Amino acid sequence: MTTDSVRIAFPGGSRHLRLCRTAAVSLGADLGLDVDELDDLRLAVGEAIAWLRSGVADDDEIIVGLAVVDDGVEVEGLAPTSSGDGQIDDLIEAILGATVDHHELTAADGERRIRLRKTRSAEPVR
Amino acid sequence: MIDPERRARLFDEFAQTGSEAARNAIVEDHLGLAEFFARRYRNRGVSDDDLRQVSRLALVQAVDRFDPGHGVEFSTFAGRTIDGSLKRHFRDTAWAVRVPRSLQELAVAVRRASAELSLELGRAPTVDELAEATGRDADLVIEALSADQAYRADSLDQPDDAGAPRAGAASVDPGFERSETRLVLREMMNAMPERERRILELRFDEELSQGEIAERVGLSQMHVSRLLRRCFEQMRAELEA
C-alpha cells in the first residue's frame, strides 16, 4: 500500500538531481531506514538518475516518482532519449546491485526507465 | 585534416625526436575535437575562454602521453583526456559553490555524529537520533545527508547542445569504452588496500552477500556495507577523473 509519494519533473539541462536524492532520503527517513540504508539509497538514486539523464536533451523533461511502498522506498524514473545507446557501465551495475534490493534500468523505444527499491532491513527505532 | 598515415608518421617523429613541429601539427589537427568538448560544458558557470583553455591544454597533454603502440585511436584517447580534464575543472571550481558552506559543515558534523553513534549503539543511527545528537532539525539532517558526496558528475554527462553534431564523440567506439571501463574497474580494485580489495572480490567474484562477507573477513555487516560504499564512491570518482 502506498502511504507517501513524491513526484518530481525537471528539464534535462538543469541540476536538480539533488532534489531527487533529498526526496529519497526524506521518504526513507520517515520509513525508519537507518543512516547506512539512507546512504545506500542516496548513492543508488544518484547513479540511476545520472544514467537516466545522460541521453536527455536540455529541454526534455525527466520525471521521477518516489514512494513508500510497504516497508521500502521505490523510485521510478522516465526520460526521453535523444542521444547515446543507453549502455550501462559495470560500475553502475555493481553499485545498484550492492545498494538496493531491486533495480531495473531499461532503454527502449526512445525512452530510458529506471526502477529501484530499497527495503527496510529492520523494524524502525522509535 | 591530416590523413591517418601522415598522423602516424608525425607521432613517430614526435616520439623519436620530440619535434615541436610534429607536436604542433597534431595539436592543430585536433583543435576541433577540443572545441567540441569545450562546447559541451558551456553555460554551466565556467567561462567559454576557461573551457577552451582547459580543453586545449588537455589536448596537448594527450599528444604528449599518447602511445600508438596501444592500438587505440588518438581521437578516442584525446577525447577521454579532454573530457576528464573538463570534469576535474568543474569539480575544482564551479561545483565547490553549489552546496552552501553551512550545509557542508553540517554534513561533516552529521557524519561525525553518525560514526560516534554507530559505536555507541552498535548499529547505524536513524535521522531522528542524528538530529538529537547534532541539535539540528531532522529536515536539515536529511538535507546534509543528501548533500554529502554531492559532487559527482551527474550534470556533466550530457552535451550542452543536444542537437549539435557529435563529431568528436562519434569517433569513440562504445565497445572499446565498455571493455576499457571493465579493465579500469579491475585495475582500481587491484589498487585498493588489501582489505577493501578482498571485500570487493568476495562481493563481485564470489557473489557473496554482505553478511557472508562479514563472516569471512571478521567484520560487522555494517562495517562491510560502509567499506563497500566508500569503495564505490572512490571508484566512481576515479572513473570520472
Q: Which residue has the higher pLDDT, B118 or B159?
A: B118
* Residue A43: inside a domain: yes
8 Å CB contact between B109 and B205: no
Q: What angle do CA B133, B136, B142 make, to 5 degrees?
A: 95
Torsion of CA B173, B176, B180, B182, to 10 degrees: 110
| pLDDT exceeds cutoff 80 at B126 | yes
* Residue A53: inside a domain: yes
Kindly state the average pLDDT of the residues A79-108: 84
* Residue A68: inside a domain: yes
Q: How far apart are CA B27 and CA B46, in angstroms?
A: 23
Domains identified in chain A, total number: 1
pLDDT in tens, B166-176: 333 333 334 44
> For residue A77, what is the domain's CATH number?
3.30.565.10
| pLDDT exceeds cutoff 60 at A121 | yes
| pLDDT exceeds cutoff 80 at A46 | yes
Which residue carries 576515479 as its cell?
B238
Average pLDDT, chain A: 86
| Closest partner CB to B162 (pick from A35, A57, A91) | A57
Predicted local confidence at residue A124, as pLDDT:
67
**Strand ordering across the sheet containing A72-80:** A2-11, A61-69, A72-80, A111-119, A102-108
Predicted local confidence at residue B203, as pLDDT:
82
* Residue A24: inside a domain: yes
Beta strands in chain A (DSSP E): 2-11, 61-69, 72-80, 102-108, 111-119
pLDDT-based confidence at residue A14 (cuts at 50, 70, 90): low
Predicted local confidence at residue B69, as pLDDT:
78
Predicted local confidence at residue B49, as pLDDT:
82
Q: How far apart are CA A18 and CA A35, in angstroms?
A: 17
Predicted local confidence at residue A113, as pLDDT:
94
* Residue A27: inside a domain: yes
E strand or H helix at A35, and its extent?
A: helix A35-53
Put simply, whether B115 touches A (Cβ < 8 Å) is no
Average pLDDT, chain B: 76
B235–A34 C-beta distance less than 8 A: no
8 Å CB contact between A33 and A118: yes
pLDDT in tens, B84-118: 888 777 655 544 445 677 777 888 888 889 888 88
Kindly state the average pLDDT of the residues B204-225: 84
User: Cα distance from B216 to chain A (closest Cα, Å)?
Assistant: 17
Q: Which residue has the higher pLDDT, B154 or B79?
A: B79
| Closest partner CB to A42 (pick from B123, B145, B182) | B145
Considering all CA atoms of chain B, what is the largest pairwise distance in Å, rounded to the nearest integer? 68
8 Å CB contact between A109 and A86: no
Weakest-pLDDT range from A79-88, B155-164, B204-213: B155-164
pLDDT-based confidence at residue A24 (cuts at 50, 70, 90): very high
Taking one residue from A and the other from B, the number of pairs with CB-CB distance under 8 angstroms is: 123
* Residue A124: inside a domain: no
Instruction: Give the structural domain span for A75.
Output: 2-119
Q: Looking at this predicted complex, what is its ipTM? A: 0.73
* Residue A125: inside a domain: no
Put simply, whether A43 touches B (Cβ < 8 Å) is yes
Weakest-pLDDT range from B5-9, B176-180, B225-229: B176-180
Domains of chain B, earliest start first: 4-96 (1.20.120.1810), 99-148 (1.10.10.10), 174-241 (1.10.10.10)
Predicted local confidence at residue B114, as pLDDT:
87
Predicted local confidence at residue B170, as pLDDT:
31
B203–A98 C-beta distance less than 8 A: yes
Give the best residue of B127, B136, B140 to mutate against chain A (max A CB count within 10 A).
Answer: B127
- Report percent pLDDT > 70 for chain A: 90
| pLDDT exceeds cutoff 80 at A82 | no
8 Å CB contact between A59 and A104: no
* Residue A73: inside a domain: yes
pLDDT in tens, B170-195: 333 344 444 455 666 777 777 888 88
Q: Which residue has the higher pLDDT, A65 or B17?
A: A65
| pLDDT exceeds cutoff 50 at B207 | yes
Predicted local confidence at residue B241, as pLDDT:
60
